[in-house]
Structure 1
Amino acid sequence: MHFKDLDNNLSDFVGTWKWQSNDSIITIEFQKWEDVFFDDTNQYEDMLVGAYKFTVNGNVIQDNLSQLNDNSFYIYDRYLVGNTILHKGQYPKCEDCADDQRQVFVYFTDPEREYLNSAMVLRHTVDNGVEKNECCVLLF
C-alpha cells in the first residue's frame, strides 16, 4: 500500500521557516521525503520531516537541524514529522481558509520535554502574490 502526496500538498511547506520576536529566533527546516516505508503497517508514505533551532539573545537553546540529514534515525524519532492533510472544517478549524485550502498536521517533539504532547498545523497562503506560511502549535 502507498499513501502518495498526489496533489503536492506537502511541497508547499518545504524549505526554511523563520520566526523572530525581540531576541528570540526559531528556525525550522522542512523536507519532503517520498516513499518512506513503515514495517509495522507494510506501507509507503510521503512525509514532511523537519528540524529546528531555537536561540535567545544569540544563545542556542535547542538545535537539531543537523539531524534532518542523518538517516540513522527512525522517522518518528525526528522532532517534526507528519503528513495528515486537514481541510477547512477539521480541527483546528480555520475560519478564514478557502474551501479548497489544505493544512498539514505534523507532530512536534521537544527532546527536553518529551512529556509534552504537541503538534503543529501548517498553513500555506498567497497574499497579493506573496507566499506565506503560518504555524499553529497545539498542546494536548
Structure 2
Amino acid sequence: MKNNWIPITLIITMCFTISCKAQNIVPIYNGPEQEPPLPHYYKDVDNNLDPLVGTWKWQEGNNSLTVEFKKVERAPFGGESVKDILIGGYTYIKNGVECTNSLPMPNLPMDKLTNYPIWGGVIGTPIKGSPPCPECGTNPRYVKVQVREPENPLLEGKFIMGHFIQNGVEKMGLLFLNTAISMPTADYTGPEEMCIPEFSTLTLVKQ
C-alpha cells in the first residue's frame, strides 16, 4: 500500500497545480484592473469571437472581399500564457481581377499562428476607429485583428468588425485601416499600400 500511495499523491498534486494555473483567467473584454499572477489565460469569456467564425462576403460590382475566420482557444501568447484568438484568410478581387488570395487557409502549427494572414482578437466597445454600425446596437462588441497580404508580408493593416443580424441574415460591419510597413528598411522596394483600400467600410454577409 505504501508504494502505491506515493505516486497517487504526486498525481493528485500535479493535477491540483495544473488546475490552479488554469484559474488565472483574464477576460479579453473588460478584464480586471489588477491581473492575476502569471501565467495568464486571456479568455473570450463572453464568446464574442464566436459570431465571427465562418465565411463572409462583400460584393459591389466587380469588387469583392471574401473572409474566413476560425477560432483558436489557448493559443500561445508569450511565455506560458495563452489567449483565445481568431485566425483567417481572405481574397480580394478588384475590378474583376484577383488582387490577393490567402484561401484556402493553411494548416499551421500552434506556435506559428501569427503567420496566418489574419490573426488576433482584441475585443472592445468601442475600439478606436470602429466602423459606423448603427445596426450593431447601442453597446456593440467590436473585434480587431491583424491583416497581412501573402504577396507582400511586410505590409500590415487591421480589420475592426462588428456583428449584427438584419432581417434574419447574419452580417458584419468591417473597417480596414492602419496600413503600414511592419519592418521598414532603406532598401525596401515593395508597395506601400495593400490591395484593400485603406478606410474601406464594408458590410459582409455570412455565407
Distance 1:139 1:74 in 2: 23
- In the TM superposition, 1:82-97 aligns within 5 A as 82-88=120-126, 90-93=127-130, 96=134, 97=136
| Structure 1 partner of 2:14 | none
**TM-score, structure 2 as length reference:** 0.58
SS of structure 1 residue aligned to 2:105: helix
| Structure 2 partner of 1:3 | 42
Q: CA deviation at 1:121?
A: 0.2
Contact 1:12/1:124, CA 8 A, preserved across alignment: yes
Instruction: Letter of the 2:93 partner, please give it.
Output: T
SS of structure 2 residue aligned to 1:41: coil
Q: CA deviation at 1:48?
A: 0.7
Contact 1:116/1:139, CA 8 A, preserved across alignment: no
Is 1:43 the counterpart of 2:81 in the alignment? Answer: yes
Contact 1:49/1:68, CA 8 A, preserved across alignment: no
Cα distance change, pair 87–25 in 1 and its aligned pair in 2 (3 A) = same
Q: Which residue of 55, 58, 76 maps to 2:93?
A: 55
Q: Deviations over 1:86-135 (max 9, x none)?
A: 203x3025663534320100011123334433101011012243321111
Instruction: Letter of the 1:137 partner, please give it.
Output: F
Give the unaligned 5+ runs of structure 2: 1-39, 180-207
Decide which structure has greater strand share: 1
Decide which structure has greater helix share: 2
Instruction: Letter of the 2:104 partner, please give it.
Output: S
Is 1:122 the counterpart of 2:178 in the alignment? Answer: no
For the pair shown, which has the larger CA radius of gyration, 1 or 2? 2
**TM-score, structure 1 as length reference:** 0.82
| Structure 1 partner of 2:20 | none
Cα distance change, pair 72–60 in 1 and its aligned pair in 2 (3 A) = farther
